[in-house]
Chain A
Amino acid sequence: MSAHRWNAFFLPVAVLAGPTAYATDYLTVAQAQEQLFPGAQFGEQTLKFSSDQRDRIKAAAGVRQRNEEMKVWRAEKNGKLQGWLMVDEVIGKHEFITYATAIGADGKVLGIEIMSYRETHGGQVREQAWRKQFVGKTVSDPFKLDQDIQNISGATLSCRNVMDGVKRLLVVQQMFLKA
């Protein structure tokens, strides 16, 4: 095969357009609710952030609040506030990572669940050993990889963005969801 015939290998990457979706969704919102607030009743609300509010979130959390709206579920049991469930997404290496965070009325993380993860490496973010590191965290914790949150090799960007995302949700809770 001589030089000019090797053109066959230079197909436009358009060939790759419309790739088959390979999304792996592990949990629905209802399942995440049940995992993080078993037996609770939920009231849905939507937080809408102004530009100024997003700037304030960024200043306090250190990362952007990408979306202007966020769905939040207020969890109650027997009429008593248990906390809030927030579903958010952050950038993975190539796809968005969707995760749910439960924050108690005292402003501490009760737990997180990875709802979808589609990256090559770092599937361990779904394992309880990694997720439980967030339990009890407050907005004043360091949130530093390999300091208070263990990094997963090959998935550092995913770990960093989930970790920063949880801190941002704590900031949102503190600013907009006071008990």
Chain B
Amino acid sequence: MRKHVFLAAGLLAAALPAVADENLFGYVRGSEVLPKGSGEFYQWVTQRNNKGTGHYRAVDTKTEVEYGVTDRFQVSAEVNGLAVKSQGLLINGYLPKDIDSNLRLQGFEVAAKYNFLSPAKDDFGLSAYTSFEYGRLDVHSGQKKRELEFEAQLQAQKYFLEGQLTWVGNIGLRAAHEKRKAIADLPEDFEWPTDPEMEISTKIGTGLSYRFAPGWYAGVEALFENEYETEVGQERWSVFGGPSLHYGGKQWWATLTVFRQLRGGGERYDGQPEKQLHLIERTRNELRLKVGYNF
């Protein structure tokens, strides 16, 4: 463990003498796009942990490349990874068995973003974002599941104090078609539906970030999500919130967000200790680190 910490520290320290651009937040995104002909490489790592019972920790990775096709239109492609460790918690229909998996390929994603208004030029920024994702693992249980997902989002941004203070707002809709793969050795009376199912979810997010020193931003962000599913109607809702710290320079930037579930509802598992949270598909805590490189 210590070896990995030092390795990562060394890589980051070596790679971050100079940094820059977007992504002041971990979960909500601004309206700006890359200029024509420029690119950006991102590496995200998200840790989700604590379902109230047992030991649960999942790590999502996202490796992304963005490219500015025109000054208003950018495209991106992503490769996603997943590692899940879950012990001492079985949830009927959701967490069928203990697991301690290595990082595995979770899926692929392509996205496009079109900028209608620039926050610096038009005083209010607005972009439309769409993505299409193919997934091969259930991000909650780590079990095999085929998922096709489409998401559309409006991303707004407003500068205050000549850009020292930045507000962003997101509103989005996601639709997914999912089919789980059968599991042979399920516990008795345990459900693991393998019929195709549809999910629709909405997402509303907002964030405010203040530049407290050259290159350094401190912010807060919040995300309200609602998910509806074929079988159960409203399956879950949750409100996450937390602080973000961002450092950006000429080519590199990094953002760290500590996200905590503040309220949640919908389905609960038997014996769930915290009734005011949704802990079946979401966790109590999330931590996200993003690093970006402009080229």
Contacts and interface: CB of A to CB of B under 8 A. Distances in A.
B84 to A, nearest CB: 6
Contacts of B121: 145-146, 151, 156, 160
Residue of B101, B164, B256 with most chain A CB atoms under a 10 A cut-off? B256
B163 A161 contact: yes
Given A3-B58, A16-B16, A64 B83 contact: no
Contacts of B57: 3-4
A13 B254 contact: yes
Interface residues of A, number: 42
A64 to B, nearest CB: 7
Interface stretch (B33-41, B171-179, B271-279): B33-41
Interface string A148-165: 000101111101110010
Contacts of B186: none
B85 interface: yes
A90 B8 contact: no
Interface footprint category on B: 35 or more
B7 A120 contact: no
A156 B105 CA distance: 38
Contacts of A16: 12, 16, 19, 247, 254
Interface string B53-77: 0000111010000001001000000
A18 B132 CA distance: 39
B215 to A, nearest CB: 5
B45 interface: yes
Interface of A: 1-13, 15-16, 19-20, 22, 63-64, 90-91, 93-96, 118-121, 145-146, 151, 153-157, 159-161, 164
25 contacts: A2-B103, A5-B4, A6-B47, A6-B61, A7-B5, A11-B9, A13-B245, A16-B12, A16-B16, A19-B215, A19-B249, A20-B18, A64-B162, A94-B20, A94-B215, A94-B248, A95-B214, A120-B21, A121-B21, A146-B121, A151-B121, A154-B34, A154-B35, A157-B119, A164-B162
